């Protein structure tokens, strides 16, 4: 089954404790991205990757890191989480060609709470 | 700058009513894509439709239809004969090359 998986689905942590949210897709998509969803703000892009070893900042990259060492994986790293990073996080992937990305397919979401 | 505006924060209807969700976008690019996504109460994001900037034909899929008008920079979504299962948050989104810009979403509640 074609899908995007994220782990963990739920995470409660404390300020400053490094964490990683994994994301994997089995559709051989070039493009992958991370979003956060907050009430009243919709979905905002954190980082994206057009292909292996290529990553770029989205609209809200501060406090986050990513890497793309393999095509299928795109982990999101919070080196020192803070309470304002409490949010619902989505990973997505899509087919990309000629510099255009098409519809994105989303993982199930990771609800992160930082106390 | 690119922007997507969904002015309707919340809409409530009774089952079987028709409902239209508005989406207005801003972009200086001539080539771009527009999307609608559905987020039901369970939380996942479900892709509904893609439309490219060169194709202004309206699209119908069952009870769903989409009206794309470049002249008014709008890409509206109509649900005909709404059902309780249509209750969700609906997002309109725009992409030109590598960044997907979402609107803030419209919460649709369909009451029996």
Instruction: Report residue B76: phi and psi, to 5°.
Output: -90, 155
| Token duo for residue B41 | 């109460």
Q: Tens digit of pLDDT for each residue in B5-20?
A: 999 999 999 999 999 9
* Chain A residues with a Cβ under 8 Å from any Cβ in chain B: 31, 33, 35, 40-45, 48, 50, 56, 58, 88, 90, 92, 96, 99-106, 108-109
CA separation for the pair B61, B39 (Å, rounded): 18
Report chain B residues whose CB lies below 8 A from the CB of A92.
45, 100
What's the pLDDT at A42? 87
Cα torsion angle, A21, A68, A63, A89, sign: negative
What's the pLDDT at B83? 97
Q: Tens digit of pLDDT for each residue in B86-106?
A: 999 999 999 877 788 999 999
Cβ burial, residue A106 (10 Å; 0-12/13-18/19+): buried
What's the pLDDT at A100? 76
Phi-psi region of A66 (alpha: psi -120 to 50; beta: other; left: phi over 0): beta
Report chain B residues whose CB lies below 8 A from the CB of A44.
102
Interchain CB distance below 8 Å, B44 and A109: yes
CA separation for the pair B37, B77 (Å, rounded): 11
Beta partners for B67?
Answer: B76
What's the pLDDT at B37? 96
- Closest residue by Cα to residue B12 from B71, B88, B93, B70: B88
Report chain B residues whose CB lies below 8 A from the CB of A104.
47, 100
- B31 and chain A in contact, CB less than 8 A: yes
Q: Tens digit of pLDDT for each residue in B28-79?
A: 888 899 999 999 999 999 999 999 888 888 888 899 999 999 999 999 999 9
CA separation for the pair A15, B94 (Å, rounded): 34
The tens-digit pLDDT sequence of chain A (115 residues) is: 889 999 999 999 999 999 999 999 999 999 999 999 998 888 999 999 999 999 999 989 999 999 999 999 999 999 999 999 999 999 999 988 877 788 899 999 999 999 9
């Amino acid at each position: 089954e074609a899908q995007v998986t994220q782990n963990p689905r739920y995470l409660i942590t404390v300020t400053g404790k490094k964490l990683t949210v994994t994301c994997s897709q089995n559709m051989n998509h070039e493009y992958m991205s991370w979003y956060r969803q907050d009430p009243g703000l919709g979905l905002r892009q954190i980082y994206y990757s057009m292909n292996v070893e290529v990553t770029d900042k989205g609209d809200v990259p501060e406090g986050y890191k990513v890497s793309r060492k393999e095509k299928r994986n795109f982990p999101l790293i919070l080196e020192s989480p803070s309470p304002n990073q409490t949010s619902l996080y989505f990973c997505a992937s899509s087919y990309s060609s000629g510099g255009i990305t098409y519809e994105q397919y989303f993982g199930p979401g990771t609800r992160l709470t930082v106390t | 700058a690119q922007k997507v505006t969904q002015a309707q924060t919340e809409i409530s209807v009774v089952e079987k009513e028709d409902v239209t969700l508005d989406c207005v976008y801003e972009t200086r690019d001539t080539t771009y894509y527009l999307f609608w996504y559905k987020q039901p109460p369970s939380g996942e994001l479900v892709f509904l439709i893609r439309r490219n900037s060169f194709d202004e034909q309206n699209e119908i899929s069952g009870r769903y239809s989409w009206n794309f008008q470049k002249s008014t920079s709008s890409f509206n979504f109509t649900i005909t004969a709404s059902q309780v299962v249509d209750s969700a948050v609906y997002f309109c989104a725009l992409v030109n090359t590598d960044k997907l810009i979402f609107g803030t979403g419209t919460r649709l509640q369909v009451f029996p």
